[in-house]
Amino acid sequence: MIRTLTGWIVAYLVRWLPHSTPTGLFPVGKPDANSPVLITVNFTLTVKRVRRALAKKDAWLLVAHSKGINVWCAAAGGIFTESSIIDAIKISHLSEKVSHREVILPPLSATGVDREAVKQLTGFSCQFGPVYARDIPAYLKAGKNKPDGMRRFDFGLRHRLDMFLPMNFPVYLLVAVVLATVASAQLLGFTALFWLAAAFLYIFIDIIPGKTGWGQAMLSSLFVVFAWVAIDWYTRGNPLEHWGWLVATFFVFFGAGFDIAGTLSSRTSDAERMMQRLKFKRFGSLFVATDEGVVQLEHNKCQGCLNCLEICPVGVFAGLDTSKKMAFKDQEACFACGACVKQCPQNALSLNHA
Amino acid sequence: MSSYVYMKILESQPKRYDWGIALLSLGQSLKVKKRIVADNINPGSKVLDIGCGTGTAAILAARAGARVTGFDISMPMLAVAREKIAATSLADRIELIEMGISGMDRFVDASFDVVMSMLVFSELSSDEQAYTLDHAFRILRSGGLLVITDEVKPTTIGKKLLYGIVRIPLLIVTFALTQTKTNAVEGLAERICQTGFLIEREERTALDSFLYLVARKKEE
């Protein structure tokens, strides 16, 4: 489905970069005026996965312009917004293609999309579908109802394996190119060490002790270094026989584990936290330190509309309490994505510290 | 969320946009905008700036005596534009609207003298380009001007090579410092003719990689 080599490379090897597909309204199967309309963004891999999920369905796929960036990043970065959706609906003349007035949005767009504005300017109301495209058929079959599982972002093994190559390959490539030119004899050893370290972290992140990703990476590297020293001591009588590789092990684990907390779990990025602790306001143009804390609710404003419960990707909310106000299930699980704050029609939610 | 780092990059970009574009164009950006305004905009002109971004061209046009309406899809970009406009005495001559191109349907037929758009078409997909040109044609008075500047791909192999040698390192440095980049637009002149405009000027500058195009809506 991905037709260009660069598209394939971005999708599977260097997912840090954007890659665009054409925008507009596309029929999938044989849709008619009553078929559902699913909105997505024009990141190549995203479109590919949504199309694959819809393979046996008759539906309209409306690809909005996000400059080739995925749903979550584009929504949080202010690139996939209500304006992108309004543009997509109007430019494609969607209202002439379907008789109903409803579109289905990816819920990870909730952090950037004002649904009321879409309704006002286009007449289309927006429903949030399931987080994962692969759940779309089941979601449609169940009459657009979704169980909790379809609302959650899953940081499980499947996600981690999906991120394994595209997150680590750029780091590996950078070091490998340098090594190949200055110390090509070490390239094979580095390759093995790097990918074993990355695989270890990506597979076992849930059971490696440690609160932060950096802590987990350090602990893992210590474990490997001690094992290596012990083996060298026992078999060769010299514990520091491979001292260069022992030093390299620390760096390799740090490289592969630089942002595992942020990539593989719903924790804040360690780099970001370090910035805050060092009282850096910004670091060049790459980081801007923010201190957003966890979500807070002003009970008196809550009208019990359940929007926040529907779109929270990590299950912070429990449902309404006896006074018909939203209650928290796990407030500390919040990682400040901002989706509920954006979707609360009463402005009852905020990300400021209490 | 690792993408967090990525998101921060996206969010912090507008404030450095002007700087990035200046760097990317080796200081030519402002000069080009000044020339475009001097060439095409008269006192009293009604001007629409499609994708006005940080407002540089809108301010220049207003200073030349035009009444400018600018719109952009990016709220952070418009925030920078508002700051810049507030620092001038032109606030009553410039109106800014936050909207995507589909919002162009709100403008009345034949209500503008000039529609200008700088480094915007290359950001649009082809269906969006067609939509924008259709509406630009509709809202221009007869004899009105469409002024477009954008990055294009060089045409000859020699220039392509030279372009790559100069361009790629510049692109990397600029992106690293400001997260700003530009894309090349293709087949724009053909699209503009298809819409019904008459092309009056088509200049390519800077290693053949930058297009300055003026088209006129036929007098009736």
| Predicted confidence (pLDDT) at residue B173 exceeds the cutoff of 80 | no
Strand-pairing partners, residue B47, are: B68, B114
The rounded mean pLDDT for chain B is 86
Q: Note whether B2 contacts A259, CB cutoff 8 Å.
A: yes
Q: Note whether B3 contacts A335, CB cutoff 8 Å.
A: no
Name the residue facing B100 among A84, A284, A286 (closest C-beta). A84
The 3-class secondary structure across B68-111, one letter per residue, is EEEEECCHHHHHHHHHHHHCCCCHHHEEEEECCHHHHHHCCCCC
Calculate mean pLDDT across residues A50-66.
Answer: 95
Q: How far is B47 from chain A (nearest CA, A)?
A: 22
Q: Note whether A269 contacts B4, CB cutoff 8 Å.
A: yes
Phi, psi values for residue A76, rounded to 5°:
-70, -30
User: Which residue is listed with tokens 């936290």?
Assistant: A273
Contacts of B12 in chain A (CB under 8 A): 282, 285, 288
Angle (CA) A346-A348-A350 rounded to 5° is 130
Question: What is the reported pLDDT for B179?
Answer: 61
Contacts of A171 in chain B (CB under 8 A): none
| Predicted confidence (pLDDT) at residue A223 exceeds the cutoff of 90 | yes
How, if at all, do strands A59-64 and A24-28 pair?
antiparallel
Contacts of A65 in chain B (CB under 8 A): 124-125, 128
Q: How far is A290 from chain B (nearest CA, A)?
A: 10
Cβ contact A86:B102 at 8 Å: yes
**DSSP label at residue A24:** E
The token pair that represents A20 in the structure block: 């665009």
Question: What is the reported pLDDT for A292?
Answer: 65
Strand-pairing partners, residue B71, are: B50, B97
For A20, the closest chain B residue by CA position comes to B125
The token pair that represents A91 in the structure block: 């430019």
Q: Note whether B2 contacts A79, CB cutoff 8 Å.
A: no
Angle (CA) A314-A308-A87 rounded to 5° is 100
Query: How large is the C-alpha radius of gyration of chain B?
Result: 17
Of B36, B101, B46, which is closest to residue B68 (Cα–Cα)? B46
Contacts of A70 in chain B (CB under 8 A): 3
Contacts of B127 in chain A (CB under 8 A): 22-24, 91-92
Q: Note whether B178 contacts A285, CB cutoff 8 Å.
A: yes
Calculate mean pLDDT across residues B97-120.
Answer: 96
**DSSP label at residue A95:** H
> Is ipTM strictly over 0.90?
no
Residues contacting A39, CB < 8 A, separation 6+: A62, A63, A64, A85, A88, A103, A104, A105, A106, A109, A126
Calculate mean pLDDT across residues B117-133.
Answer: 92
Interatomic CA distance for residues A166 and A242, integer angstroms: 30
Name the residue facing A78 among B75, B127, B131 (closest C-beta). B75
For A86, the closest chain B residue by CA position comes to B102
| Predicted confidence (pLDDT) at residue A283 exceeds the cutoff of 70 | no
